[in-house]
Structure 1
Amino acid sequence: MCPSCHEARPAHAGVHWPTPCPAGLVPPYAVGEYAGALRALVLAHKERRVLALARPLGELLATSVAASLATIGAGAPVLLVPVPSRAATVRQRGHDPTLTMARAAARTLGPDVRTAPLLRLRPGVVDQAGLDAAGRAANLAGSMTVPAPAVRRISRRCPRAHVVVCDDVLTTGATLREAQRALEAAGVRVHAAAVVAATRRRSAASH
């Protein structure tokens, strides 16, 4: 990371509600607006495979996760559940950026935090780029699932874990809300969502 980008990295995170907000969405935390240096970092890692950025982006994601956990106290384990990517997209990019960032965030936060890639995408989901809020919601409705064996493993190993859904960017909230729905349908309670950045039309106002 260049010195100017390093200096521009936000040190704090807050709740960034999308407008309009999907009904029932857990509080989504972000370190800042998806613009400038933050946008450049995310795109370089995601689209140009600058894999060395996984660590600093993971540290930013960790800042969002830590903010989401500030009200619950210490002691309970934490599970970071990255939103899934389409298999074709992962093949095209050559890596899974959200999973990589979530793992880096877990390492930053310490041994009580683990990454749990529980979510799977059903066939038929198309690329979200260019879709408006309604289109994204329709594209993702019912698109994610959690295999029962994965839930059983998590229930045995981390029965009291606080679950945080993770993504790189918050746009309309449709992806985070679908991930939350799938996890809760499988019996996994979701505490919050954490991302690196929220798009320009999002605001850090109360919901």
Structure 2
Amino acid sequence: MPITDDARDLFLPAACASCRSASAAGFGLCPDCAADLAALRPLLAAPAVRGAPPVVAAGPYAGTLAEALNEYKERSRRELAPALGALLGRALAVVAAEVPGAVLVPVPPTRAARRARGFDHVAAACAAVPGRPPVHACLRALPRPDSVGLTPRGRLAAATASLRARPRAAAALAATGAPAILVDDVVTTGATLHAAARALAGAGVAVPAAVCVAAA
């Protein structure tokens, strides 16, 4: 980031994380962009990878939502967590009645991704879901290649090799008999959700559905 950008961020009000042309009035967004997010309605995603759990996304990966999500992830705009958590809450409301007693299991970043961002962005959004069910961090992610440019089959292979259940945490969840709803930021092919569901199933945890902030 240029030094001039750093100076601007220090001495001027934070710009809206989406349009960047207005000051952020609260939670990182200007009133107009906040209204754009508020107008979104959940949609049923259609993962290309067969066997992925049904996925409800808060909105399409486009426009205001895509810009805000990228700022949240890539520039560590943590103040956006409440706005994104509210969107996840709407997606969760679509599936919650069909999955009583479910808990949330966020898809984890790799250690390198978390170090680069400075936080676990999916877990932070999960924690901001209003009235959310319990969150169980029972997955871990081993190093994996960047999925950009990979085929759906390549994405699935990379995700399957990376995602693992945390033995003790997953066993404790399995002992309760509670189903898990996976949570991720963006669903594209569904490879990551398929791999995560498979890892949990191997530990005895059922995954009947998933929710995401956006569907690409």
> Shared fold (TM-score greater than 0.5)?
yes
**What displacement does 1:24 show?**
1.6
**What displacement does 1:198 show?**
0.5
Matched residue SS, 2:210: strand
AA of the residue aligned to 1:115: V
**What displacement does 1:143 show?**
2.2
Question: Following the alignment from structure 1 to structure 2, what is the Cα–Cα distance between the partners of residues 184 and 58?
Answer: 26
Contact 1:11 1:63 in 2 (8 A): no
Question: Following the alignment from structure 2 to structure 1, what is the Cα–Cα distance between the partners of residues 172 and 45?
Answer: 32
- Whether 1:14 and 2:38 are equivalent positions in the alignment is no
Contact 2:137 2:169 in 1 (8 A): no
Which residues of 2 match residues 28-107 of structure 1 at below 5 A?
A: 28-72=55-99, 76-105=100-129
Pick 1 or 2: higher relative contact order, CA cutoff 8 A, min separation 6. 1
| Higher Rg of the two aligned structures | 2
What percentage of residue pairs aligned between the two structures are identical? Answer: 36
**What displacement does 1:11 show?**
4.6
Partner residue in 2 for 1:109: 131
- Whether 1:122 and 2:142 are equivalent positions in the alignment is yes
Contact 2:42 2:56 in 1 (8 A): yes
Residue segments in structure 2 that go unaligned for 5+ positions in a row = 1-28
Question: Following the alignment from structure 1 to structure 2, what is the Cα–Cα distance between the partners of residues 185 and 79?
Answer: 17
In structure 2, relative to structure 1, the CA distance for the partners of 1:191 and 1:109 (3 Å cut) is farther
**What displacement does 1:120 show?**
1.1
Q: Once the two structures are superposed, what CA deviation does each residue of 1:100-150 show, in whole Å capped at 9, x if it has no partner?
A: 111112xx024xx01111101234x11223323222122122321112211
Residue segments in structure 1 that go unaligned for 5+ positions in a row = 200-207
